[in-house]
Structure 1
């Protein structure tokens, strides 16, 4: 009887120990998961605050022949001529960029570095930031630049979409930024890479709910095969079938094959058109603004 009792007790003890271990493992997994999420949120929040990592440049792309995309500009510090972000010339007086690229205390100029020959420049007179832009979540990450009027030869055709419906399919992203993440070497030549617009569901699955944009954020996602935008390409163009469909905003590092996030131009088309036609004082679309005069 003692032997049987001992065996039964041993079996009971073993089962309790196994159950205890299983619960411990589950608890540890939950803790690790929470720590991972916390780490990602902290890193992203830090990067958003100091504007690191999520300022984008084209990695793994190909050089663009001069004159092929002359409207894709370099947004520069007017005092130092340092490249800051990308921009896209929309009309003789307006260009687009990302809202997180511009600050109220900085003077800017646009330089068209894809020009064949000496790149033309123009001074930015006014920066108009979307009123719903949030620097922490990067929602509605778009700003318009009002420049000195310039008759840009060969880039007077309309580059904006005509409809508000969402864009799909294959596109090309452009940038002047870091082309080698190991050496942080900047590209003096405009670089391009092919990407594919994906659904926000796919974006959430790939990036996670804390990195992927919300459904009402005015943002979209695209992914390339072995390419990505990286440091310095923020504000640059995502062109689809010759139209500006996205503005490079942020991503999870400079990881080829991982989706990057872009400001959807169609989602902000009414705001863009209203600002260009009526100015930033429009009552329908109020905007944060500052003048560089």
Structure 2
């Protein structure tokens, strides 16, 4: 039986998955990814509501040099952003911008920073193998307050049923355009056994954590990759992949930040 089609949560992931009908390592040659008009995918932070960077100052988005948003990220130090490896693999720092303090992508609010260095976990190959984590170094210190990230001491934050927050600027309808505004939603963490039942061998509890309702309806989606999964006032996950978006029985899959805390700290 054919394996289910896993959806990357970045714009490039959507285009690539549509082209290949299989999970693949995302790579970009000479340029950052650009949004597509692919009609095969579901909605935004599905079930989300408007959010403000005044309340969540550490949430940022990644954009091309021309300003097109394609992934999310989290400020963890004044000049450091954590995002997904599949958002940055193959990119040159010169083509990536980080936008902070901007709720409305059509506005000029906030700060646009350039990227001077991209670190990708050396073990990253594709999202179903884990290690989907990247750290960007910015060309300046941002004024926004960074978010602490989970470490090995924060195992309690990963308990099944823990209420968590997801944020992003992803798709707003199946086959539609991205959200103009920052959106948020609340989802419970699922147990590792439940997520393994959904995804089989593609889920690795050491490197991943899942979040969502059994009936679906609330989730991250294309354009949200790299964005935060937050619980207990800390970054506990990085939006990574999933089967569809907000589909019943298929929660969103996030990189488990505590598993990479030492490597992230080394980049700070």
Taking structure 2 as the reference length, what is the TM-score of the superposition?
0.77
2:221 corresponds to 1:235 = no
Structure 1 position 48, deviation (Å): 2.7
Alpha-carbon contact 2:60-2:73 (below 8 Å) kept: yes
Structure 1 position 103, deviation (Å): 3.2
Structure 1 position 179, deviation (Å): 1.9
Tell me what 1:264 maps to. Answer: 256
For residue 49 of structure 1, the aligned residue among 12, 15, 24 is: 24
2:136 corresponds to 1:172 = no
Structure 1 position 132, deviation (Å): 1.4
Q: Structure 2 stretches of 5 or more lacking a match?
A: 8-16, 27-37
Tell me what 1:92 maps to. Answer: 78
Taking structure 1 as the reference length, what is the TM-score of the superposition?
0.71
For residue 110 of structure 1, the aligned residue among 77, 84, 98 is: 98
2:222 corresponds to 1:197 = no
Tell me what 2:118 maps to. Answer: 127
Q: Structure 1 stretches of 5 or more lacking a match?
A: 1-34, 277-293
Structure 1 position 126, deviation (Å): 0.8
Alpha-carbon contact 1:175-1:190 (below 8 Å) kept: yes
Tell me what 1:146 maps to. Answer: 137
Task: Tell me: CA distance 1:140–1:39, structure 2 relative to 1, closer, same or farther (3 Å).
Answer: closer
Structure 1 position 275, deviation (Å): 2.0
3-state secondary structure, aligned to 2:110? coil
User: For the residues of structure 1 that align with 2:41 and 2:97, how far apart are their CA atoms?
Assistant: 22
Matched pairs, number: 233
Tell me what 1:251 maps to. Answer: 242
Structure 1 position 81, deviation (Å): 1.2
State which structure, 1 or 2, has the greater radius of gyration over its C-alpha atoms. Answer: 1
Higher helix proportion, which one?
1
What is the CA deviation profile of residues 78-134 of structure 1, one whole-angstrom value per residue up to 9, with x for unaligned ones?
2x2111100111111210000001133441010022389712111011110001112
For residue 212 of structure 2, the aligned residue among 219, 223, 226 is: 223
